């Protein structure tokens, strides 16, 4: 396993299944990890949890701001949330 000491990671959709497994492996490798999902559910992992709904326009920026405040930066992003935004993700310009 790669040494991730000093790295900071954000895992969306991190409270179940693959997201939880990825967050656990990142943490075991030394990274500081934040997981996010709409609800905590049965999540009992050691990573810091931030509730967020990335399917709404203000969800991603709010999550990013909170994760940056907690971690001081983000080196690794695992975009595992199964959201289907109802707003444009990419500008049409």
Q: What is the DSSP string of 33-88?
A: EEEEES--TT---SSEEEE--TTSTTHHHHHHHHHHHHHSS-SEEEE------SS-
- The pLDDT score that the predictor gives to residue 88 is 58
pTM recorded for the entire structure:
0.86
How high is the pLDDT of residue 42? 84
Which carries the bigger pLDDT value, residue 75 or residue 93? 75
**pLDDT, average across residues 1-11:** 93
What confidence tens digit (pLDDT) does each residue in 26-76 have?
999 999 999 999 999 888 888 999 999 988 889 999 999 999 999 999 999
CATH class of 8-79: alpha beta
Domain boundaries of the chain, sorted by first residue: 8-79
């Amino acid at each position: 396993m790669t040494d991730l000491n000093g790295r900071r990671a954000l895992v969306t959709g991190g409270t179940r299944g693959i997201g939880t497994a990825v967050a656990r492996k990142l943490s075991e490798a030394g990274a500081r990890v934040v997981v996010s999902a709409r609800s905590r559910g049965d999540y009992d992992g050691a990573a810091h949890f931030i509730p967020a709904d990335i399917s709404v326009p203000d969800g991603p920026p709010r999550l990013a701001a909170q994760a940056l405040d907690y971690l001081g930066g983000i080196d690794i992003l695992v975009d595992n949330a199964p959201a289907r935004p109802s707003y444009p993700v990419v500008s049409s310009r």
